[in-house]
Amino acid sequence: MPFYRYQCEECQNIFRVLQTTGGGPPTACPECGDGRIERLIPRIGVVYKGNGYYSTDYGNRGKKSKETSSTKGEG
């Protein structure tokens, strides 16, 4: 069951609601009781962990191959 964030248009109160699959959105603000509320876009954080990303793998491989090819041509 996910939490959804809502904001009241009247008092600007931001609150979270745990919604079940059968339950609908809240009908009123818990602070002022106004019925004009809207659901906010979820905050999504992206975390890159481990190997396999350009900055850790592919960028280094390209630099090494250029350095070794230039040293082989000189000798």
Q: Where are the chain's structural domains? A: 3-60
By percentage, how much of the chain surpasses pLDDT 70? Answer: 65
CATH number of 3-60: 2.20.28.10
Within 8 A by CB and 6+ apart from 9, the residues are 34, 36, 37, 38
- Do you know the residue count of the chain? 75
Q: Smallest Cα–Cα separation from 2: which of 54, 58, 46, 44?
A: 44
What's the mean per-residue pLDDT of the chain? Answer: 75
Residues 36-67: pLDDT tens digits?
Answer: 899 998 877 777 776 666 655 555 555 555 55
Question: In this predicted model, which residue has the larger pLDDT, 52 or 24?
Answer: 24
Model-level pTM greater than 0.75? no
Within 8 A by CB and 6+ apart from 14, the residues are 5, 6, 7, 8, 40
pLDDT score, position 73 = 55
